[in-house]
Chains A and B, each alone.
Chain A
Amino acid sequence: DTGVSQDPRHKITKRGQNVTFRCDPISEHNRLYWYRQTLGQGPEFLTYFQNEAQLEKSRLLSDRFSAERPKGSFSTLEIQRTEQGDSAMYLCASSPHWNSGANVLTFGAGSRLTVL
């Protein structure tokens, strides 16, 4: 499978717990994005990486959220002290660095988080 993989697909946790999601992008893609989507809304940008560098981070991303891409391959998104409002689908996407393809995103199937 050469698509974008996300793990876990579903996570149920209690408020206050920490959760971590992993994303494995398409291997030749340099850029990796994290989005969050709630019911009836479009994907909301969280952050993106070019190789291992985190180039942008949404103002909406609180200090409880952190993302890493240490070797420029897979990425993790950690949410600390989860709140019920964090319940959402967390989508990862990747794209090539080359100019005409840089903005064409391939999404993974997402990691659905439910905070009780």
Chain B
Amino acid sequence: RKEVEQDPGPFNVPEGATVAFNCTYSNSASQSFFWYRQDCRKEPKLLMSVYSSGNEDGRFTAQLNRASQYISLLIRDSKLSDSATYLCVVNWRYGGSQGNLIFGKGTKLSVKP
């Protein structure tokens, strides 16, 4: 099983649609989870952290299921400007290591008019 796995897409959706991405991770000791956004030919930027209780930021909702080791991102009322690659990121802890951040390959979203 890959460390952090995502459906690469692309997801092609019309404006206003609701779209959901899932991500699975293999290290059960992981403690921190994030979604980053990467625009074409740009660096990744933090979209939101993912908390155990779930969290929302405007049109974006993130959920964490520790038992099943997956993370989700829901985008409501999608905008053209949401077109980007969404990267799932997991803090990777093992032994006494403080851990580093492991990125998934990303899910590409394209929002069409």
Residues of A near any B CB (own CB < 8 A): 33, 35, 40-45, 48, 50, 55-56, 91, 103-110
Binding site secondary structure of chain B: strand
A109 to B43, CA, bound (A): 5
Residue of A whose beta carbon sits closest to that of B43: A107
**Which residues of the partner chain B approach A91 to less than 8 Å between Cβ atoms?**
43-44
A70 to B49, CA, bound (A): 31
User: Can you list 24 A-B pairs with a CB-CB distance of less than 8 A?
Assistant: A33-B100, A40-B8, A40-B105, A41-B106, A42-B103, A42-B106, A43-B44, A43-B87, A43-B103, A45-B101, A45-B102, A55-B97, A56-B97, A56-B100, A91-B44, A103-B34, A104-B46, A105-B36, A105-B44, A106-B46, A107-B43, A108-B43, A109-B42, A110-B43
A108 to B45, CA, bound (A): 10
Q: How far is the CB of A111 from chain B (nearest CB, A)?
A: 11
A40 to B106, CA, bound (A): 8
Residues of B near any A CB (own CB < 8 A): 4, 8, 32, 34, 36, 42-46, 49, 87, 91, 97-98, 100-106
Q: How far is the CB of A103 from chain B (nearest CB, A)?
A: 5
A44 to B105, CA, bound (A): 9
Residue of B whose beta carbon sits closest to that of A47: B100
A110 to B44, CA, bound (A): 10
A104's partner among B49, B98, B103 (CB-CB below 8 A) is B49
Q: How far is the CB of B5 from chain A (nearest CB, A)?
A: 11
